[in-house]
Amino acid sequence: MPQETMDELAVIRAEALRGPSERATEAQHAKGKLTARERIGLLLDPDSFREVEQLRRHRATGFGLEAKRPYTDGVITGWGTVEGRTVFVYAHDFRIFGGALGEAHATKIHKIMDMAISAGAPLVSLNDGAGARIQEGVSALAGYGGIFQRNTRASGVIPQISVMLGPCAGGAAYSPALTDFVFMVRETSQMFITGPDVVKAVTGEEISQNGLGGADVHAETSGVAHFAYDDEETCIAEVRYLIGMLPSNNRENPPTVASDDPADRRGDVLLDLVPADGNRPYDMHKVIEELVDDGDYLEIHERWATNIICAMARLDGHVVGVVASQPLSYAGVLDIHSSEKAARFVQFCDAFNIPLVTLVDVPGFLPGVDQEHGGIIRHGAKLLYAYCNATVPRISLILRKAYGGAYIVMDSQSIGADLCYAWPTNEIAVMGAEGAANVIFRRRIAESDDPEGVRGQLVKEYRAELMHPYYAAERGLVDDVIDPAGTRHLLIRSLEMLRSKHADLPSRKHGNQPA
């Protein structure tokens, strides 16, 4: 082949790799942001990235576009490896058209999404774009439609992770919302459907971009973001960590690693960690740390709906999903947000063959007009539906309180938990003893000469008769009442037995889960 041909290819490729200009790169860095290629370099193993359609250019004309046709068209697509496992990625290049999506840009993304689905490998999007390319009109909008359609087709088939590293406004925000996990970086990333200017024009409210749709807003208030970090390097490192705990697709199991933490390690600290008095709070995080390998876990939605904990962890090297009440927050009650948070996590674990361990200390659903008018019935039903529909191994452990409908919803034996264990401190009942006595013995208490004394005596009688720690076990609703110190070993042995579990759902197109 003539040398001049190879020289021409080298020049073109160097131009594509370099990007638009050094000034554009400096402007990106000045905002505290990395370039698209720098981000891909952090995400993937060294020298593993293979780019697709690097030399793609748009064909649009008008509004000066015909004079500006950079290579890549503002998005870098391809595949590489994370810890040796194949991962597909696309990254908006904000230096080119502000990362705005045009027809060629969208077609590149469509192609890499199709490749990820076909290959059965995770897809990571590194988002830093200004939305639709206005100069290309409806063609750009149609490009978003193709992305949304593929997000939906890939849902439950391959893990999809959205990393927000810049602005994401309008319809573009729906793609991250369709994916499994959303990561954001404080100060530099924002997500909203209508920006501050539109909000002010319509409602008169004045608010900044970060105040409207910044990382902390979505991590704490809206629940749109699962993770928020201070810088891109930490954020992308955590993406790598998460990928290391996920299977490549729904036909595989999560990767297993060798564990130096003994499977039969006793947790004597648990005997004192959880107070026997059901009214005293404690931190469920410490219980999880004591149970899982090396005390290491990745919490999902850590700062949203904090009355329930959802986390990925390992037991004897095998990945599990942990759903746990958090008595430190609203006494661990279930409400609208915690039900939604846990339901989606349960569905994700079930889709990707991740066993579920549920740690229960729940006093019920949160009472209140706001909760009832906000639809706690249908939102609570989401969690119920998710558990009932899950076919992965499921183990529930009742530490203390498990009252009313919340007991049933938190993966009780009656909705299909494979194994249900309880500590000797468990109280499983329709409601607390005080409330039950007030209902059952209302007239007797009212007619007594010493109402408080009689109430106290009846509460003791009710607790002794119907709420003692072996009541549920005697009726087969709990498989065993166990020594808390041996919980870790028992969970590991039980999950090992359940590893070959196979369960079929009725033949159907799909269920109609609560909205």
Residue pair 219/163 in contact by the 8 Å Cβ criterion:
no
**Distance between CA atoms of 158 and 490, rounded to whole angstroms?**
31
Angle at 487 between CA 301 and CA 402, to 5 degrees: 60
Q: Annotated catalytic, 171?
A: yes
Per the residue annotation, which of 137, 374, 405, 486 is the catalytic one? 405
Alpha carbon of residue 431 to chain centroid: 31
Q: Annotated catalytic, 405?
A: yes
Q: Annotated catalytic, 473?
A: no
CA-CA-CA-CA torsion for 3, 6, 12, 18, nearest 10 degrees?
-100
**Distance between CA atoms of 486 and 270, rounded to whole angstroms?**
9
Per the residue annotation, which of 130, 311, 342, 406 is the catalytic one? 406
**Distance between CA atoms of 428 and 308, rounded to whole angstroms?**
19
Per the residue annotation, which of 98, 137, 171, 456 is the catalytic one? 171
**Distance between CA atoms of 246 and 252, rounded to whole angstroms?**
9
**Distance between CA atoms of 160 and 366, rounded to whole angstroms?**
33
Residue 377 token pair: 């019935």
The amino acid present at 426, given as its one-letter code, is N
Per the residue annotation, which of 120, 137, 156, 170 is the catalytic one? 170
User: Could you count the other beta carbons within 10 Å of the beta carbon of residue 392?
Assistant: 19
Eight-class DSSP state of 221? I
End-to-end CA distance of the chain: 62
Nearest residue to 363 (alpha-carbon basis) of 391, 401, 322: 401
Q: What is the DSSP string of 260-313?
A: -S-TT---TTHHHHS-SSTTS---HHHHHHHHSGGG-EEEESTTSSTTEEEEEE
Strand (E) positions, 406-450? 419-422, 427-429
In 246-280, which positions are buried (b, 16+ CB within 10 angstroms) versus exposed (e)? bbbbeeeebbeeebeeeeeebbeebeebbeeebee
Positions annotated as catalytic residues are 170-171, 405-406
